[in-house]
Amino acid sequence: MSLKPYEEVLEAYDPALGLEVHVELNTASKMFCGCSTEFGAAPNTHTCPVCLGLPGALPVVNAKAVESVIRIGLALNCSIATWCRFARKNYFYPDMPKNFQTSQYDEPICFDGWTEVEVDGVTYRVEIERVHMEEDAGKLTHIGGSTGRIQGADHSLLDYNRAGVPLMEIVTKPVLGTGAAAPKVARAYMTQLRELLRALGVSDVRMEQGSLRCDANVSLAPKGSDVLGTRTETKNVNSLRSVERALTYEIQRQGEVLAAGGRVLQETRHWHEDAGHTSPGRSKEQAEDYRYFPEPDLVPIAPAAEWVEELRGTLPEPPAQRRRRLVAEWGFTELELRDVIGSGSLDLIADTVDAGASPAAARKWWSGDLARRANAAGVELEEIGITPAQVAELQSLIEDGTINDKLARQVIDGVLAGEGSPAEVVEARGLAVVSDDGALAEAVDAAIAANPEVADRIRGGKVQAAGALIGQVMKAMRGQADAARVRELIMERLG
Amino acid sequence: MALTTAEVARLAALARIELSEDELARLAPQLEVILESVAQVTEVAGDDVAPMSHPLPLTNVFRADEVRPSLAAEQVLAAAPAVEDERFRVPRILGEGQ
């Protein structure tokens, strides 16, 4: 369908965001039983009577999962419930063998929090409505459909290894007043949440493996109106990039619908990463259809105030404070900081600095060359195929004169192509700078002999003319020479 | 609190159970007897009595985060009506209105 240009939509409407984020916790065992949560095991080998919902099996809550959720709630400035229960969310779909998901309904363990994110130097406050505990569902594979999707499938296969893995859901209140920055605010929120969850050590936060998932809601209201528009909920948003892309698309699509005098339908939509658009999904069942009721097999949870305070003492530095501290330590400018936040490279730079590189060099690679490559390839920066330790190694090869900046880019090509560590790529591709002065001197003499007028100008004091000769020597050496050393050799002869 | 056949039909649809008109007509009054029995509780529950979801005065029953042996896949799949590639095989899943 046709889309309204983004700027035109924003002239007439204010977007309201809502983000529902599911996080798989990295506990060793499942939420209510002792089955392993390890990713990638053979189908149905991590299941037992409890997570298969066999008659008579009784669940028991994983203490570590409760602890993790309380710590997340505290890090998001939430209040912690003094007493709360689990609830059964009843539905008929084969991804849960019990025919219900154990979740929380009107008594979430954490509620009323907030966090602040930064986009292009502006701070936005995101209010958190709730953080609640639940369990993940099994994995369905649809067989017989042309694209492996449910439509047209002949039958489906179920692996219940993931059923019962501890999951928590973080739900924001409507995020208003972000204007044209809405998709960027959503991405910044997800980026910061991922940093925070990683710092808390409670999840692997791998979006591509599904341990961090985002349902992105957005609605449009006429500018100045205080009534929210009808929202859509977009699922299958599996990367930080696609959070921003999917919301930008939905804002344009809804803008087009409204401009044509139509009504936005409240529905779940599905993001198609490759095609870059959303399509309508399953129509949303009404909340009461789930027939929530308190879970009779689990007793209430009543976190003691002392326990909560003890957990508060284990929290990492808040994200905004950490950003300010690191940037001050590293001596970055405000503009450089924006690049770092915008490219989502803060953690990568920190790890690269820890591996021995200077902050300036780490920033130069991650926020510059590597961020551009990741963007061009359509992948997350940290999945690009080079580790912080390898970037630190690359930089040390430059600093000890083994390679120059230009060769370093070829070394990155090799590392990303899976040819090994930077040192291995230098070795295998023969990329080291030629430090043999004999070979260099020969190339310098040849360049001087081939360009007598240029040589005369340099002899006459026009030092800047040396650039032409340096270029020729570098070309003759196929880039594998230290330009400063070449200049020295030329000036020794003509200076 | 009269339970209509339309409400029973809706519950049946949510539970993916097909009921005939006769069955709907027969089940509505039967389910209503159950609802009425439960409703008697509300007559004795005063404002000073908190709704009870658990008979035991317990909270915070936790287990340590330790992996215990799972069942073998053969055991898990033994009672399944259909199995394919070590997974439970289920019939085609139909969405709303299909």
pLDDT at residue A83 in the model? 95
Instruction: Tell whether A461 and A417 lie within a shared domain.
Output: no
The answer on pLDDT for A471 being more than 90 is no
Instruction: Tell whether A305 and A324 lie within a shared domain.
Output: no
Q: Rounded to whole angstroms, how far apart are CA atoms A207 and A267? A: 23
Nearest residue in chain A measured CA to CA from B11: A289
Site from B7, B58, B61, B70 to mutate, A interface, most A CB atoms within 10 angstroms: B70
Of A63, A283, A302, the CB nearest to B63: A63
3-state secondary structure of B44: helix
Residue A302 and residue B68: Cβ atoms within 8 Å?
no
**A1 lies in some domain:** no
Q: Rounded to whole angstroms, how far apart are CA atoms A205 and A344? A: 14
**B8 and B25 in contact (C-beta within 8 Å)?**
no
Average pLDDT, rounded, for chain B? 87
Gyration radius (Cα) of chain A, Å: 28
pLDDT at residue A375 in the model? 85
Residue B88 and residue A150: Cβ atoms within 8 Å?
no
**A341 lies in some domain:** yes
pLDDT at residue A353 in the model? 95
Instruction: Tell whether A83 and A157 lie within a shared domain.
Output: yes
The answer on pLDDT for A239 being more than 60 is yes
Q: To the nearest whole angstrom, how far is the Cα of B69 from the nearest Cα of chain A?
A: 7
The answer on pLDDT for A432 being more than 70 is yes
**Dihedral sign, Cα of residue A75, residue A78, residue A83, residue A84:** negative
Residue A52: φ, ψ to 5°: -90, -5
Point out the domain boundary residue: A379, A407, A429: A429
**A354 lies in some domain:** yes
Nearest residue in chain A measured CA to CA from B78: A44
**A257 and A46 in contact (C-beta within 8 Å)?**
no
pLDDT grade for A138, boundaries at 50, 70 and 90: very high
Instruction: Give B81-93 pLDDT, tens digit per residue.
Output: 999 999 999 988 7
pLDDT grade for A77, boundaries at 50, 70 and 90: very high
**A215 and A234 in contact (C-beta within 8 Å)?**
yes
Selection from A112-121, A163-172, A254-263, A318-327 with the highest mean pLDDT: A163-172
Nearest residue in chain A measured CA to CA from B60: A301
Q: Rounded to whole angstroms, how far apart are CA atoms A147 and A270? A: 15
Instruction: Return the H-helix or E-strand segment holding A168.
Output: strand A166-172
User: What's the whole-number mean pLDDT along residues A422-426?
Assistant: 90
Average pLDDT, rounded, for chain A? 90
Contacts of A234 (CB under 8 A, 6+ apart): A215, A216, A217, A218, A246, A247, A250, A268, A269, A270, A271, A278
Q: To the nearest whole angstrom, how far is the Cα of B26 from the nearest Cα of chain A?
A: 23
3-state secondary structure of B50: coil
Instruction: Give A150-203 pLDDT, tens digit per residue.
Output: 777 889 999 999 999 999 999 999 999 999 999 999 999 999 999 899 899 999
Site from A156, A283, A286, A293 to mutate, B interface, most B CB atoms within 10 angstroms: A156
pLDDT at residue A435 in the model? 64
Nearest residue in chain A measured CA to CA from B79: A54
DSSP-assigned letter for residue A368: I
Residue A48 and residue B68: Cβ atoms within 8 Å?
yes
User: What's the whole-number mean pLDDT along residues A6-35?
Assistant: 96
**A217 lies in some domain:** yes
Residue B66 and residue A27: Cβ atoms within 8 Å?
no
Who has greater pLDDT, A191 or A287? A191
Given its phi and psi angles, is residue A56 left (phi above 0), alpha (psi -120 to 50 degrees) or beta?
Answer: left
Beta-bridged to residue A29, according to DSSP, are A36
**A125 and A76 in contact (C-beta within 8 Å)?**
no
In this predicted structure, which of A324-333, A436-445, B7-16 has the lowest mean pLDDT? A436-445
Structural tokens at position A134: 């639940």
Q: To the nearest whole angstrom, how far is the Cα of A150 from the nearest Cα of chain B?
A: 7
Residue A43 and residue B85: Cβ atoms within 8 Å?
yes
User: What's the whole-number mean pLDDT along residues A334-357?
Assistant: 89
Residue B71 and residue A49: Cβ atoms within 8 Å?
yes
**A391 lies in some domain:** yes
Measured between beta carbons, which residues in chain B are less than 8 angstroms from residue A299? 54, 56, 58-61
| pLDDT above 70: percentage of residues in chain B | 94
Residue A28 and residue B77: Cβ atoms within 8 Å?
no
Which CATH number do you get for residue A469? 1.10.10
Cβ pairs A/B, distance under 8 A: 129
3-state secondary structure of A36: strand
Structural tokens at position A276: 């870059």
pLDDT at residue B51 in the model? 75
The answer on pLDDT for A264 being more than 80 is yes
Of B16, B53, B86, the CB nearest to A92: B16
Residue B59 and residue A157: Cβ atoms within 8 Å?
no
Of A43, A150, A303, the CB nearest to B87: A43
**A469 lies in some domain:** yes
Of B16, B60, B89, the CB nearest to A302: B60
Instruction: Tell whether A129 and A194 lie within a shared domain.
Output: yes
Query: Angle formed by the axes of helices A466-476 and A483-494, to 10°?
Result: 130
Of A28, A93, A158, the CB nearest to B88: A158
Given the DSSP bridges, would you call strands A166-172 and A212-222 parallel, antiparallel or unpaired?
Answer: unpaired
Beta-bridged to residue A18, according to DSSP, are A217
pLDDT at residue B96 in the model? 44
| pTM greater than 0.90 | no
Beta-bridged to residue A158, according to DSSP, are A140, B88
User: What's the whole-number mean pLDDT along residues B39-57?
Assistant: 81
The answer on pLDDT for A276 being more than 70 is yes
pLDDT grade for A323, boundaries at 50, 70 and 90: confident
Range A474-483 burial, b when 16+ CB lie within 10 A, else e: bebbebbbbb
Given its phi and psi angles, is residue B79 left (phi above 0), alpha (psi -120 to 50 degrees) or beta?
Answer: alpha
Of B15, B65, B90, the CB nearest to A62: B65
Residue B76 and residue A52: Cβ atoms within 8 Å?
yes
Residue B93 and residue A150: Cβ atoms within 8 Å?
yes
Residue A167: φ, ψ to 5°: -135, 150
User: What's the whole-number mean pLDDT along residues A414-425?
Assistant: 91
Instruction: Tell whether A220 and A329 lie within a shared domain.
Output: no
Instruction: Tell whether A241 and A330 lie within a shared domain.
Output: no
The answer on pLDDT for A286 being more than 60 is no
- Which among A401, A392, A384 has a CA at the least distance from the CA of A422? A392
Selection from A248-252, A491-495, B54-58 with the highest mean pLDDT: A248-252
pLDDT grade for B98, boundaries at 50, 70 and 90: very low
pLDDT at residue A148 in the model? 63
In this predicted structure, which of A264-273, A411-420, A480-489 has the lowest mean pLDDT? A480-489
Instruction: Tell whether A162 and A227 lie within a shared domain.
Output: yes
Point out the domain boundary residue: A312, A338, A368: A312
**A420 lies in some domain:** yes
Instruction: Tell whether A449 and A423 lie within a shared domain.
Output: no
Q: Rounded to whole angstroms, how far apart are CA atoms B75 and A379? A: 41
**Residue A147 burial by Cβ neighbours in a 10 Å radius (0-12, 13-18, 19+):** exposed
pLDDT grade for B97, boundaries at 50, 70 and 90: very low
pLDDT at residue A282 in the model? 61
Measured between beta carbons, which residues in chain B are less than 8 angstroms from residue A64? 64-65
Of B53, B63, B89, the CB nearest to A62: B63
Instruction: Tell whether A47 and A131 lie within a shared domain.
Output: yes
Measured between beta carbons, which residues in chain B are less than 8 angstroms from residue A27? 65
Q: Rounded to whole angstroms, how far apart are CA atoms A128 and A20? A: 10
Who has greater pLDDT, A492 or A64? A64
The answer on pLDDT for B1 being more than 90 is no
Of A27, A35, A153, the CB nearest to B92: A153
Instruction: Tell whether A301 and A341 lie within a shared domain.
Output: no
Instruction: Tell whether A173 and A55 lie within a shared domain.
Output: yes
Contacts of B45 (CB under 8 A, 6+ apart): B51
Domain count for chain A: 3
Q: To the nearest whole angstrom, how far is the Cα of A290 from the nearest Cα of chain B?
A: 9
Instruction: Tell whether A407 and A356 lie within a shared domain.
Output: yes
Q: Rounded to whole angstroms, how far apart are CA atoms A366 and A375? A: 12
pLDDT at residue B95 in the model? 58
Give the range of the structural domain holding residue A475, as residue numbers without chain letter.
437-494
3-state secondary structure of A177: coil
